[in-house]
Amino acid sequence: MTIELRLTDVDPPTAEPARTIYRDIVNLPDPTILGITIRYFNYDDVGLYMQITGSKTGYTFSTVNLGLLASGANAYLNLDNFASRAKPTVSQLPNGEMSETITLTLKGYTDAGYSTLKWTFDRVVTVIWINSTDAAFTVNEVDNFDDGTVQGWVGQMIDYYDSYGDGTNTVNTVVATNYVLSPPYSCQLSIAHYNGYGAGTYYAWLRGQLYKAFTTPNKPKVFAIADVRINLVPQYDGYAFPYGKQLQILNGTAVLISLGKAPDNVASEYFPRQKWVRVVFPLPANTTLTLKILFALLVRISITGSLPQTNTAYLWLDDFKIISK
């Protein structure tokens, strides 16, 4: 194996865990879009020009040229709008579920024109579609915030880093009207880091989370569905580059799902910002847990003066559900 494609942040030589993508058809557009974050490796003795595409009957996949990857290197990239397919119909999901597989193909070429193919690597991924409104499912929890409260969700700043030193932080959890899926409200967490900086370039990253305690039903299948949106708003007198980095969902301290990449100083999107993203994931049955939706965002700022700087990261949550059967 001289090139490799992974969809997790698990490092070799540990085997890549099986990856299943869960999707809920309710209120999805038709056709529906698939975006993923990939991690790709070059184990060859020479640099390779990498390319990714996919295959599955009924899907349309992009072919994305990833550029030159040096020998021994690996890289992450978010592929937004990577594939599309017609949204499955209700009749295609008997008992509220349907399973299919897609094949992602990574290719390594020796030339910038992508004409001389040297290596190919396939990764098969399971996609499980559910219909959360199907009568087979019991709806155990709905948090849509339309009663004007945050319905028990708590916001917290976990930690932060800035290359110029310490500052002060603020955290705020409110119902919001600026971005919603089911009017009039969503839940909005904002975490802000303030400091006074001199001229120059600095990096800062912020990590925060929304959390709430639940007891899951005692049934063979339990799913959570979370519609989330993230963004970062830097204040500056020079210029700034905000980058979406990572979203994780945890059962207490155990990571249930990890999307994107931990913050670094690389100017690349690892998780899409300024758009709603639906995350569907299984939960353990008959368990009391604290569900945490954690996000991390990076800002790189070049300052031409010495005004104080405030960077604010936002997470919105709407139409959260727990269903079971």
For residue range 165-207, what is the model confidence (pLDDT) as tens digits?
666 788 999 999 999 999 999 999 999 887 766 666 777 778 8
For 8, the domain range is 3-130
Q: Is the pLDDT of residue 1 over 90?
A: no
Q: Is the pLDDT of residue 261 over 80?
A: yes
Report the CATH number at residue 57: 2.60.40.10
Residue found by looking up tokens 């009663």 in the block? 147
Same domain, 176 and 296: yes
Same domain, 91 and 161: no
Same domain, 151 and 197: yes
Which of 35-44, 91-100, 155-164 shows the lowest mean pLDDT across its residues?
155-164
Question: How many structural domains compose the chain?
Answer: 2
| pTM of the predicted model over 0.85 | yes
Same domain, 107 and 149: no
Give the tens place of pLDDT for each residue, 171-182: 999 999 999 999
Give the tens place of pLDDT for each residue, 91-142: 999 999 999 999 999 999 999 999 999 999 999 999 999 999 999 999 999 9
Q: Would you give the distance in Å from CA 144 to the centre of its chain?
A: 20
The full 3-state SS of 251-306, as one line of letters, equals: ECCEEEEEEECCCCCCCCCCCCCCCCEEEEEECCCCCEEEEEEEEEEEEEEEECCC
Q: Work out the burial of residue 133: count CB atoms within 10 Å of its CB; fewer than 13 is exposed, 13-18 middle, 19 or more buried.
A: middle
Same domain, 44 and 177: no
